[in-house]
Chains A and B, each alone.
Chain A
Amino acid sequence: MKFWILLRETLRYIVRSRLLFLLLVFSFLLHYVGLSFMKQATVSIQGFVSSIGPREGMFVSVYLSLFMGLFLSAIYGIWMVPYLHQGERSLLTFVLPVSKWLYPAVYFLSFLILILLEFGILLGSFTWIFGKEALLTPRFSWGALGTCLLIETLAFEFLLFFFSILSMSVGHVMTLFFAAGSFIFLQVIGTLFRFGFDQFAQEAGGNWLIALRIYSYLPPLGELIFNLKQTFSQGGFPTGHLILWSVWFLLGFLFFRFLLRVPR
């Protein structure tokens, strides 16, 4: 019961803060305009000209939703989640008869609703541009799409708690810089590994091997784009990274819960 009351207030906050409006407009523009351009574009490789079809279109949509999700998790995590738990407001939040477990659970579910809404816009825009036949064709891989959306959802939910924890610990501005720094760092490392850096590290051994091992346990943010690409182009299921994202998400959830001091 208390869970639903908290969820209702959180959703009210999302609506009144205009985050929902921002999400709807920005996401629609991103997907619709992005896909429109894509559909009209042609690719020419060594004289072979081809137009971009629904399969590539869907990959671009999933790729665009990655940026939308990062943007959303940053806004929701840095500014909105800490709203009730910081400063003068926290004194009144602390004395609400609500279990500390409910807060992360509510933030998880409310953010999941936003993510699903974003995915809905993704599918809607795709259907609008390419027609519903594109989704119904046997060539369309629902499995690949589902895997991509699942891995994105886990990544966004982890990032939500990561941003919230940082924001509540070091403040909004520091979080932005730290988050941007981590993102660039992990992205660069992820790209380096694509060019055989992992093999180099294994051959070189020593500290390089230790660094490689540490990287392999970090949130696989740098691998995310490659996971999506691989899932779409070759199928398969990035089980290792999905498990890693799940573990990091759970850690984020638990850490957030322990960050809230009272009620106990």
Chain B
Amino acid sequence: MILEVNNLEVCYGLKKAVKRVSFAMGPGESVGLLGANGAGKSSTLKAILGMIRPSKGEIRTLNKRPGSFASFEKLGFAPEEGSPPDYLTGKEYLDFVSALKMPMRQKGFLEVDELLGWFELEPKKPIRDYSKGMKRRLILAQAFLGNPELIILDEPLNGLDPLMIIKLRTKLNEQKEKGTSILYSSHILSEVEKCCSRALILKEGELVLDASLETIMADYGGIESAFAKKVAEK
């Protein structure tokens, strides 16, 4: 398994943000993580990445404990709100991340150039002079470095123009064909429908639906109606 989450609970003080969430992801699987604001999506992602310690439960990310630096060699993560070091240029930043992730430097350099082109980034421009959209694209680009086995995207469409949304979708499909698993957290249900083969819906910290897209289509007619039904029902 690429990712295993068993009975995950995350508490902030007395408040339980995530309650007994369990799911697993296999190689090449693309899973959408959905939920209203405060449903526990970010807390789940943070626990998977090892940024917060779960109060209960067990997580194995790429067969390693979450947060171990070895697990990050084959894991790409694009946070919703991140900021790369602004004293570097776009190319320098990707080279830096690539050098840490890729033992084969030459291959890394080629990958960096390819990603710079794909995400339409100006390689020699300092990051501090990048627009908000360009910074967003740079954050997404670094998640694809190092031939990752698992890519975790947190609200990846924020700040992207429609053309880049289409390109990102194509890039994700390319990765899936390579066998990369993708965990895609988003508010945009239609995009999850296009990119993912399975959806998880969280409501007030609980996993209320874990089903393949085919099942969702058959049972609910689409992700939007499944989401409306599961999140609205008491």
Report if A and B associate in a common complex: yes
Distance between Cα atoms of A214 and B93 in the complex (Å): 47
Residues of chain A lying within 8 A (CB to CB) of residue B227 = none
Using A5-B96, A91-B79, A97-B69 as known contacts, say yes or no to A261 and B51 having CB atoms under 8 A apart: yes
Using A5-B96, A16-B87, A91-B81 as known contacts, say yes or no to A97 and B51 having CB atoms under 8 A apart: no
Chain A nearest CB from B127 CB (Å) reads 11
Please tell me if A99 contacts chain B, counting CB pairs below 8 Å.
Answer: yes
Please tell me if A133 contacts chain B, counting CB pairs below 8 Å.
Answer: no
Chain B nearest CB from A107 CB (Å) reads 15
Residue of B nearest to A14 (CB): B87
Contact of B87 among A13, A91, A100, A261 (CB under 8 A): A13
Say whether chain A's binding surface is mostly helix, strand, loop, or mixed.
Answer: helix
Chain A 236-262 interface mask (CB, 8 Å, partner B; 1/0): 000000000000000000000000011
Distance between Cα atoms of A17 and B126 in the complex (Å): 13
Q: Is the CB of A263 within 8 A of B79?
A: no
Q: Is the CB of A12 within 8 A of B51?
A: no
Name the interface size band of chain B: 20 to 34
Please tell me if B67 contacts chain A, counting CB pairs below 8 Å.
Answer: yes
Please tell me if B153 contacts chain A, counting CB pairs below 8 Å.
Answer: no
Residue of A nearest to B75 (CB): A95
Residues of chain B lying within 8 A (CB to CB) of residue A95 = 49, 72, 75, 77
Distance between Cα atoms of A16 and B67 in the complex (Å): 31
Using A94-B49, A97-B73, A262-B67 as known contacts, say yes or no to A88 and B142 having CB atoms under 8 A apart: no
Residues of chain B lying within 8 A (CB to CB) of residue A89 = 82-85
Residues of chain A lying within 8 A (CB to CB) of residue B72 = 95-97, 263
Please tell me if B195 contacts chain A, counting CB pairs below 8 Å.
Answer: no
Name the interface size band of chain A: 20 to 34
Please tell me if B70 contacts chain A, counting CB pairs below 8 Å.
Answer: yes
Please tell me if A70 contacts chain B, counting CB pairs below 8 Å.
Answer: no
Distance between Cα atoms of A79 and B81 in the complex (Å): 21
Q: Is the CB of B50 within 8 A of A98?
A: no
Q: Is the CB of B139 within 8 A of A264?
A: no
Q: Is the CB of A13 within 8 A of B85?
A: yes
Residues of chain B lying within 8 A (CB to CB) of residue A2 = 100
Chain B 48-59 interface mask (CB, 8 Å, partner A; 1/0): 011100000000
Q: Is the CB of B83 within 8 A of A88?
A: yes
Contact of A97 among B65, B70, B142 (CB under 8 A): B70
Chain B nearest CB from A262 CB (Å) reads 4
Please tell me if B101 contacts chain A, counting CB pairs below 8 Å.
Answer: yes
Please tell me if A208 contacts chain B, counting CB pairs below 8 Å.
Answer: no
Residue of A nearest to B96 (CB): A9
User: Which residues from 77 to 105 on chain B have a C-beta closer than 8 Å to any C-beta of chain A?
Assistant: 77, 79, 81-85, 87-88, 92, 96-97, 99-101
Residues of chain B lying within 8 A (CB to CB) of residue A5 = 96, 99-100
Interface on A for B, CB 8 Å cutoff?
A: 2, 5-6, 9, 12-13, 16-17, 83-84, 87-89, 91-92, 94-100, 261-264
Interface on B for A, CB 8 Å cutoff?
A: 49-51, 65, 67-73, 75, 77, 79, 81-85, 87-88, 92, 96-97, 99-101, 139, 142
Beyond contacts A87-B83, A96-B72, A263-B50: 5 other A-B pairs, Cβ-Cβ < 8 A, are: A9-B96, A12-B92, A92-B142, A94-B49, A97-B100
CB pairs A–B below 8 angstroms (12 shown)? A2-B100, A16-B87, A89-B83, A92-B83, A94-B67, A95-B75, A97-B73, A98-B69, A99-B69, A262-B50, A262-B51, A263-B67
